A and B are shown apart, each in its own frame.
Chain A
């Protein structure tokens, strides 16, 4: 990941966190009040769902989500758009908009969840959570730089000859060398019937392995930069091991995930439209 891309991701994250933080900081004393007391709060007319800010949160949040969904879906489904940027980046922007949107919607509700529109809200929550889960599954499936999924063989080819790299570039004692080589091998003994259990056990085992390797290479008096490179090398190899182990499962999960993620989004959108329609019918406008 390039520095520019990292900065881009960081910026998007900061926007989300700052939005959440600022609104929460400003509105905390209002949102924490019981519903019966809020009307008498000084900032009620700003922060209430129909207030200048609250209503704005709803509108901007909805626009964010609509844009996030529509743009990403368009990018994925319209071939002529494939030339505009990497799908991965579109996904990241989709995640940004569809995270910022729910954050704003959350404050639009002023933490008051009731009525028909609550279905829309909880659907949004479901879409968001499923998005988080989808994102996890997504990163478990190695892809090409354009975002295409790699086959199992392609993934296996990605594994580097770590033994050759270590012996050529770093002077390690035999004990440390063997430890690293042994650690990057697949740990069949951890395979479980439950994928969740397997992932969990593997995760903790890998953490332990990394700690052992860090301790081993420390004894070999490598420079700090070399030590970091060796750990990165081992980390990459271990992660690849995990992905190879769960690739098929993750690919299957990802198929089912689409079935869940999309309907929640549709329900959310339908009720949101009803909600907006009722609001407009009853005469509630924003700043327009």
Chain B
């Protein structure tokens, strides 16, 4: 038994059990007093002699071990030993641990994290603590040891001045009002990234917040006026809205690319600037603002000419469309048409019309001869068969086409002389077709029908058509030949003027040719 007793010391030590692995260097009877105080069990001082980093925290009254829950407790009440190499000397309910006691209450997104998400070596700055296999020490309440400095040291203010702990974005505690550039008006609705664009710096995304230029509007805004109105944007604009322009009544529109002239000067702004005065307004063509009165009639080959081709800002009425321009079209203005007002042709109805109004005379003029003149003399109602635009009365009709060839004095008289007759009421009636060709139809028979034959009197048996001279009469072909002295006797000597039935005429048909009838 004595042999057994003395052989055992190698294994049978006083130690009541193996120390946990992290304390394994303290195994052995010679090390008892490293932890145990003679007569006083295991004192906190002994523990804290080794765990100096924890002692430092306690001395500073910081951390969980300085909290009311731990204060005045023996280390061994939570961290006992001699329970085996694999004993968990630090063990607690991680889910129920009141992190507030550590001096860093877990709120927001922190509360959703696992212990190891934060308590890891890479977040520990103290090299001595960092080198420990595992520890809950070494973290600080500041953000940057754990979180990447997104601002890359450009912002010196504490993170928590701007960021809450629910999420990095958005910076819930940040107020732009506390900056040198309080956001007013529409600036309040602008996404941050518009003024603080995300760039790449040091191979990571970087959003610049510090050092952003803001004194001039042009630091952020592009000048849509390209300097037309100077650099002082606020003279017209405010933060309330870019589109709300101050002192609009004094605005000098001539500084824009569209100077207002004539009628435009009296037009209210809203008439053209329907929404905001700063909204770009198309102004290259009149129809950008105006309705095409002509409803596209003037479109040619798909292109509509601008109104200014005819009209000006002085007024819609009165076109500047020239005769030359008109003559370049299908209907050349000539003669009386040159003096004809536009509306005579182009405003036959209530509205002006420029297309498909026709170029035929009948499209504008009333054909007064219709049903009076045979169509073969002016096919398709073409007035120009007789008339021209220079003078309506200047007729150039080839009368020889008819059965009545105009010769002699007939060529000098107007058509109306033969073709228009007044009735008893004074109303004029035209007659072309079936107009009798006999002279008496037009001329008065001064001879009181003395030469009538078969109901007709052929004047040309005596008279010529030109001077109405008696060139065709041969007295010798009558029943009374003129011979002798009779050849030199004036006609009136024999042919006396007589009045018969209130008709006075020269009697040429002398029935009694006896000498005594005259002599």
Contact = CB atoms under 8 A, between A and B. Distances in A.
A115 B84 contact: no
Contacts of A112: 16-17
Interface string A246-266: 000000000000000001101
A35 B17 contact: yes
B88 interface: yes
Given A115-B17, A116-B8, A36 B1 contact: no
A278 interface: yes
A162 interface: no
Nearest to A34: B84
Given A116-B8, A119-B5, A284-B41, A36 B16 contact: no
B16 A115 contact: yes
B14 interface: yes
Given A116-B8, A119-B5, A40 B16 contact: no
A267 B37 contact: no
A85 interface: no
A257 B222 CA distance: 112
A282 B38 CA distance: 5
A134 to B, nearest CB: 17
Given A114-B17, A115-B12, A282 B84 contact: no
Contacts of B17: 35, 112, 114-115
A183 B169 CA distance: 102
B178 to A, nearest CB: 51
Contacts of B9: 116
Most chain B CB within a 10 A radius of its CB, from A38, A117, A283: A283
A118 B40 CA distance: 24
Contact of B80 (A39, A114, A264, A266): A39
A281 interface: yes
Given A281-B38, A282-B38, A284-B41, A116 B12 contact: yes
Contacts of A49: 16
A116 B4 contact: no
A34 B84 CA distance: 9
Interface in A22-49: 34-36, 38-40, 49
B36 A282 contact: yes
Contacts of B37: 283
Contacts of B4: 119, 267
B15 A264 contact: no
Contact of B14 (A116, A123, A264, A270): A116
Contacts of B434: none
Contact of B5 (A267, A278, A284): A267
Nearest to A278: B14
B39 interface: yes
Interface in B25-45: 32, 36-41
B84 A35 contact: yes
A41 B23 CA distance: 22
A283 B40 CA distance: 4
Interface string B164-204: 00000000000000000000000000000000000000000
A282 B41 contact: yes
A112 B83 CA distance: 10
Contact of A36 (B14, B15, B41, B86): B86
B20 to A, nearest CB: 9
Identify the 9 closest CB pairs spanning chains A and B, nearest first.
Answer: A283-B41, A116-B12, A283-B40, A36-B87, A283-B39, A36-B84, A35-B84, A263-B1, A282-B36
17 contacts: A36-B86, A36-B88, A39-B80, A112-B17, A114-B18, A115-B12, A115-B16, A116-B9, A116-B14, A117-B16, A119-B5, A119-B8, A263-B1, A267-B5, A271-B5, A274-B14, A275-B14
Given A263-B1, A283-B41, 10 more contacts: A112-B17, A114-B15, A116-B12, A117-B16, A119-B12, A123-B1, A266-B1, A281-B38, A282-B32, A283-B37
